[in-house]
Structure formats: C-alpha cells, structure tokens
Amino acid sequence: MDKYEITKRIENLAPPETAEPWDCPGWLVETKKRDISRIMLALTVTDDIIRQAKEKNCQMVISHHPLFYVPLEYKEIDLYCAHTNLDLAYGGTTDTLIENLSLSQSGSDGFLRYVDIDICIDDFIKKLREISPNMRYVNNKNTQMLHKIAFCAGSGSEFIEEAFQNGADAIVTGDLKFHTALESPIAVFDIGHFESEIQVLKVFAKLINKDAEIIFADEKSPFIY
C-alpha cells in the first residue's frame, strides 16, 4: 500500500494544522520507499519499539506520541505520528477512551469531552478500574454522586478549572500532580497517561483497515505499582 494514502486517511480525521503550536505531528522520518505491507502501531516510539519493528519486518511505525529528537538509528524506517491533532479530533483519543468505558458523550469543548450521567462515585471508580486497576483519585468535596463528567485523555489536569466552570463535578485524565490535586474544586480521576491513551491505536488500525498488515507493539506503562 502507498504510505501516503495511509497518512492521508489519518490527516482527514486529524488535520495536522489543528495541533498545538508546540507539537510536531506528521512525518518524523520519511524514507524514499512508498509501498509498505506491514505497519507497527505504538503509543510511543522508543529504542525497544524500533527493535520490535525491525524484528517484525515492519516498514513503518505509526505512533500517537511524537519525537522531538530522532536518533540516527531510527532513520531506516518510516515514522509518522498524530498527537494533539488526534486528541482534538472527533473520534480521536478522548472519544476512544469514553467509548471504551461504554459511555455516551454529551458535549465537547476543545480538548474536553463531557458525559452526562447519574452514577455514584463508588460505581464509577469500579468502572474506571476495569481499564486502569491502579487508578488514583482525589475527592476534596466528598462528592457522592456524579452527574456531569469531563474527560481528557493523556495529560489534561490543566483543564480542571475549565471543566468546573462548565458544570462538571469530576474529570477523568492522567498525570495528576500533587498541588493540582490538592486544590481541585472537583473530583479528579487519574487513570494514567498510558492507560488513557493506548486504545487510540485502534483508530489507526481502523483507518488502515486491511490494506496493510498491522502489528501492535508490545508496550506498557513505565510505572511499577
């Protein structure tokens, strides 16, 4: 398959120009070959992912996270990523997280997505722990019932105040820091950066369809619990 047809499909869903100014989605390494038959999908490109791709004879790696520095040894294989543009896209990272929890989205606001639901906090915790057993949370107001929940896959604690102002009584995200947790006006569920985003690889797989063989990288969160 022509690799540019694959990237065209991704960019139709998540146009690179919608990415944050600091971000660098798109081609990280672009070799001269066009036709590819086997693609590895990964959340993050690392030395180990490149080793896996070479061992599996993949000609291309598509990732969610970008590289801001590309080592010389990586330049033998096509590398492409969709990052904050995929976070913003409808059907992208956060939407996939909500779908994976069998919930229905009720609204959106930039990077945030919202779910209107009436659920006790203990039941919601159980639901989250099905996809993130080591999930942690803060509940400074001792909220017992949740009615509107904001979602932001990845690192979204910067949007806590925005979610609060939009009427959410909780937010689901990752990478929660101590002082942010201490001061949060709403409940915050930190399910982990990796756990909140890993399912987005299925979006890439769906776009590729069966036009190339897909290999999912063997990767996990770096944290040990």
The CATH classification of domain 3-86+198-216, taken from the options 3.30.470.20, 3.40.1390.30, 3.10.450.50, 1.20.1050.10 = 3.40.1390.30
> In what helix (H) or strand (E) does residue 147 lie, and over which residues does it extend?
strand 145-155
pLDDT value at 42 more than 90 = yes
User: What's the whole-number mean pLDDT along residues 87-106?
Assistant: 97
Task: Tell me which residue of 44, 41, 47 sits closest to 60, measured CA to CA.
Answer: 41
Q: Where do the structural domains in the chain lie, given as residue ranges?
A: 3-86+198-216, 93-191
Q: What b/e sequence results for 171-203 when a residue is b if at least 16 CB atoms lie within 10 Å of its CB, and e otherwise? A: bbbbebeeebbeebebbbbbbbbbbbbbbbbeb
Using CB atoms within 10 A of its CB, is residue 137 exposed (0-12), middle (13-18) or buried (19+)?
middle
Bridge partners (DSSP) listed for residue 136:
190
d(CA 79, CA 77): 6
In this predicted structure, the answer to whether residue 135 has a pLDDT above a threshold of 90 is yes
- For the entire predicted model, the pTM comes to 0.95
CB 114 within 8 A of CB 105: yes
Q: Is the domain covering 93-191 a CATH 3.40.1390.30 domain? A: yes
Chain mean pLDDT for the chain: 97
User: What are φ and ψ of residue 131, in 5° steps?
Assistant: -105, -15
Q: What is the identity of the amino acid at 25?
A: P
Q: Is the pLDDT confidence value at 68 over 90?
A: no
pLDDT tens-place string over residues 147-183: 999 999 999 999 999 999 999 999 999 999 999 999 9
Whether the predicted pLDDT of 73 surpasses 90: no
pLDDT at 88 over 90: yes
Residue 204 reports pLDDT greater than 90: yes
